[in-house]
Chains A and B, each alone.
Chain A
Amino acid sequence: MKARGDLKEYQVVGRMMPRPRDRVPALYQMKIFAPDKCTAKSRFWYFVSQLKKMKKTQGEILQCKEMYEKHPLVIKNVGIWLRYVSRSGIHNMYREYRDLTSAGAVTQCYRDMGARHRARASTIQIIRVEEVAASKTRRPNIKQFHNSKIRFPLTHRLNRKLHKPRFTTSRPHLTF
C-alpha cells in the first residue's frame, strides 16, 4: 500500500460466500486505515487471508464504510500497535501520537516510521489503534504536552518569503 495523502478510517465487513456446508458464514469486521475505499478493501483481504482461511475469490465484502471521528476537535493521545519488517527482521512496536483524529495519527505513524526506520508503507501492519488517556501514555515526547500551562518559544522563525522581495539589502527579521 502506498500511504498517500491523509489516510481515512474504514470499517470493512466481509464474509465467505455461503456454501452448502456453511450456509450462513461468520462475518468479520476490520478497522482499516487507507487512502481510499479501494485500497481499504484490498487491505481487508490482505489481513483476513493472513488471519483466517478466507480469500477474495471465495468471499465478499458486505460493507466498506468510512468512519468519521466522533470528536474531531478534541486533541487525543493515540497509541498505535504495529508490526513492521525491517532490513534484519520483523518487529512489533508501540508508538504514540497526538492528533485530533485516529486517521490523522495513523497517517503520522506511517510518515514517522518511514522517517525513523525507513519502513515503507507496504511493510507496516497496523495492529491496533486506540485513544489513550493522558495518564496512561508511555512516551515522554507525548507526555511533555500534558501541561495545561504549556509554554515554548518559537525560536528562529525562518523567512519563507524568499521572493517577496527577491533581492533586498536587509537581513530578514527572525526573532519575534
Chain B
Amino acid sequence: YISYGPDAGKLAVIVDVIDQNRALVDGPCSGVSRKQMNFKALELTSIVMKIPRGLRPGNLRKAWEKQEVQKKWDSTTWAQKIANKKKRAQLTDFDRFKLMKAKQARNRLINVEFGKLRKTVKRPAPRLRKKKSVKK
C-alpha cells in the first residue's frame, strides 16, 4: 500500500529490492507503473504474492489477477475502513440525516436492553446515614 506521493492510496507489489531504502514496485492492475519507491512511502499489507523476484510486468499482471489480490485487499478491514472514510466524506446532508436517524434507532434498542439489565441487578442496601435531626 502506497501511503503518500502521487500514487497515494494505491496497491503495488514489491517486485525487487534495490537497496536498503528503495524497492522496485509495480501495480499493473492498480495504475502504478513500474518504478522505484522509497520504503518510507510504502506500508506492508498482509497480502503476499507468490511470485519470483523481478517478475516482468505482463506476467505480474497475470499473477495479480490469478491470485485475486484485489479481492483479498477489499476484504481486509484496512481497505474497508478506507472505503468507509471515503463514503463518509461524500455524504450529502440528506444522507447525514438518514445516518442520524439510523443511529437513534440503534441507540434506542441498546438503551432498552440496558434498562432491562439494570433492573435485574440486585440493588445494594442503601447505607444508613446518621441524621441528627431525625432520631430525636
Question: Which chain B residues lie closer than 8 Å to A154 at the CB level?
Answer: 39, 44
| CB nearest to A98 among chain B residues | B19
Q: Is the CB of B17 within 8 A of A145?
A: yes
Residue of A nearest to B44 (CB): A176
Q: Tell me which residues across on chain B come within 8 A of A75, comparing CB atoms.
A: 16, 18, 24, 54
In the bound complex, residues from chain A placing their C-beta under 8 Å from that of B24 are 73, 75, 100
User: Which A residues are CB-close (under 8 A) to B16?
Assistant: 75
CA–CA, A73 and B15, complex, Å: 11
Chain A stretch 70-116: residues in CB contact (< 8 A) with chain B: 73-75, 97-100
Interface residues on A, range: 10 to 19
| Residues in B neighbouring A150, C-beta threshold 8 A | 17
- A100, B18: Cβ atoms closer than 8 Å: yes
A148 at the interface (CB under 8 A from B): yes
Known: A100-B24, A148-B53, A176-B43. Contact between A73 and B34, CB under 8 A? Answer: yes
CA distance A132 to B20 in the complex (A): 19
Nearest-CB residue, chain B, relative to A148: B53
In the complex, the answer to whether B36 meets A100 with C-beta atoms within 8 Å is yes
Quote the shortest CB–CB distance from A163 to chain B (angstroms). Answer: 14
Q: Could you say which residues of chain B place their CB within 8 Å of the CB of A176?
A: 43-44
Within 8 A of B (CB), among A120-155: 145, 148, 150, 152, 154
**Do the beta carbons of B44 and A98 come within 8 Å of each other?**
no
Q: State which residues 12-65 of B face A: CB under 8 Å.
A: 16-20, 24, 34-36, 39-40, 43-44, 52-54
Once the chains bind, are A98 and B18 in contact (CB under 8 Å)? yes
Complex interface: chain B residues within 8 A of A145 (CB) = 17-19
Can you show 13 pairs from A to B with CB atoms below 8 A apart? A73-B34, A73-B35, A97-B19, A98-B18, A99-B18, A145-B17, A145-B18, A145-B19, A148-B52, A152-B20, A154-B44, A160-B40, A176-B44
Which A residues are closer than 8 A to B by beta carbons? 73-75, 97-100, 145, 148, 150, 152, 154, 160, 176
A-B pairs with lowest CB-CB distance, top 5: A98-B19, A148-B53, A73-B34, A75-B18, A150-B17
